[in-house]
Chain A
Amino acid sequence: DTGVSQNPRHKITKRGQNVTFRCDPISEHNRLYWYRQTLGQGPEFLTYFQNEAQLEKSRLLSDRFSAERPKGSFSTLEIQRTEQGDSAMYLCASSFPGILNEKLFFGSGTQLSVL
């Protein structure tokens, strides 16, 4: 399978706990994106990396959220001290850049439920 892989598929946690999600992009893609999707809404951009550099962060990304891509391959998204409002689908996508031809490939997402 050469698609974007996200783990775990589902995560249930108690409020106040820390959680970490992993994304493995398509191997030749050097850009990696994180989006968040809540029920009834479209995906919202959180952050993106080019190789290991985090180039942009949305204002949605509070200081409880941190993302890393240490070797320019897989990425992790950590949420500290989770809140019920963090419950959402967290989507990862990867691409090979090109101003007009960039195409995002999305993973199936990690569904987070904070109790």
Chain B
Amino acid sequence: AQSVTQLGSHVSVSEGALVLLRCNYSSSVPPYLFWYVQYPNQGLQLLLKYTTGATLVKGINGFEAEFKKSETSFHLTKPSAHMSDAAEYFCAVSETGTASKLTFGTGTRLQVTL
């Protein structure tokens, strides 16, 4: 069975600092991995996804994530945080690549301070 663990339900960074949101997964087959962002009062929006190929994936708004099979991780990073990045971030895994089989983590709320 597939599962996702997001370490840290709340992360606070200063504006301009590195953002690192951690995600570890469990999957019995090569996984497809996703990061979604949820801004207040808005629907979830896909940031980036890994399916096959290059393990460093670039997404929208300057975010990127690296698939590390040996560590079963898919951490999300951004070199320089902006106030507008404050939101909740969800990591998700799919064993089939279809959205119907997505298993989400519990989310990490990112706070950006001045």
A interface list, Cβ under 8 A from B: 3-4, 31, 33, 40-45, 48, 55-56, 91, 93, 95, 97, 99-100, 102-109
Contact = CB atoms under 8 A, between A and B. Distances in A.
Which secondary structure dominates where chain A touches chain B? loop
16 contacts: A3-B43, A4-B43, A33-B99, A41-B107, A42-B90, A42-B92, A42-B107, A45-B101, A93-B43, A95-B99, A100-B52, A103-B99, A106-B43, A106-B45, A108-B41, A108-B42
A43 B104 contact: yes
B26 interface: no
Interface residues of B, number: 23
A113 B92 CA distance: 26
Interface of B: 4, 9, 41-46, 51-52, 90, 92, 97-107
A41 B104 CA distance: 8
A56 B100 contact: yes
A108 B9 CA distance: 21
Contacts of A100: 51-52, 97
A33 B94 CA distance: 15
